[in-house]
Amino acid sequence: MNKVVEVLPDKEALIQRSLELVLAKMQAAIAHRGLCTIALSGGSTPKPLYEKIAQQNLPWDKIHVFWGDERYVPPTHPDSNERMARQAWLDQVPMPASNIHPMPTGSGDPAQDANLHEADLQAFFHTQPGEFPALDIILLGMGDDGHTASLFPHTDALQVRDRLITVGNKDGQPRLTFTAPLINQARTVIFVVAGASKRPALAQVFADVADDSQYPSRLIQPQGELWWLLDQAAGEEIQG
């Protein structure tokens, strides 16, 4: 793993830098392998980034979109990460529907949907059970509590090492999430984190010693590149 930390002066500069990095990694993936696989983060921070990506002139048929986690709600629900990304980006560009791989949340059984999505990923990436595919780019956010994707503090999802997808739990609400080992297999992981409310958790995530179960973003130590893109409000006390 090689870790790069960049602190940008404000949210707008953070989003612009995130765009530049994502575009560079997309173009490199397409140049090297003919396609780019990218997993999106949810929440509020990345929405302006997705809006900017939608304004680019990219080979949309060569880009495959996944999600690193999803709330267990229909894709029409206001809390849906799929809904946010479609509105901000995917509905604005001519990307083939078959290039968009949302996490299923329709069976009423999160564990069953997690298994279904895992099977879909294995089919797409031609991997066998127990084998972890390497996505080109995984975008991540970080909660005020130090969670990432839907790997929340002191939840069972943190311990899952033999699956690609598992069921996360936020205050009793089920979520589907990439597991830590799947995230760590990525070629490039990019955290995009903004705001002063993230500062205390960031201090723990970047500390030499802290509780990984309390601050699950510490579990993200990918084989490939790890980028932390922070705005000044979140990252002013962080050294690279």
Q: Least distance in Å: CB of 33 to ligand 6PG?
A: 26
Q: Candidates 42-50, 52-60, 92-100, 220-228: pick the segment binding ligand 6PG (CB under 6 A).
A: 42-50
Could you say which of 69, 82, 113, 136 contacts ligand 6PG (CB under 6 A)? 69
Q: Least distance in Å: CB of 41 to ligand 6PG?
A: 4
The three-state secondary structure class of 106 is coil
Asked whether position 45 contacts ligand 6PG by CB under 6 A, the answer is: yes
CA angle centred on 207, ends 172 and 165, rounded to 5°: 35
Q: In what order do the strands lie in the sheet with 69-71?
A: 69-71, 173-178, 165-170
Residue pair 51/88 in contact (Cβ under 8 Å)? The answer is yes
Residue pair 176/72 in contact (Cβ under 8 Å)? The answer is yes
Asked whether position 102 contacts ligand 6PG by CB under 6 A, the answer is: no
Distance CA 178, CA 236 (A): 29
Cα–Cα separations (whole angstroms), residue 183 to 32, 156, 176, 212: 21, 16, 14, 15
Binding to ligand 6PG by CB under 6 A, coded x per residue (else -) over 179-218, reads ----------------------------------------
Could you say which of 37, 80, 81, 184 contacts ligand 6PG (CB under 6 A)? 81
Cα–Cα separations (whole angstroms), residue 194 to 68, 145, 198: 19, 14, 7
Asked whether position 141 contacts ligand 6PG by CB under 6 A, the answer is: yes
Q: Least distance in Å: CB of 48 to ligand 6PG?
A: 11
Q: Which is nearer to ligand 6PG, 38 or 142 (CB)?
A: 142
Question: Site residues (CB under 6 A) for ligand 6PG?
Answer: 41-45, 69, 81, 141-143, 147-149
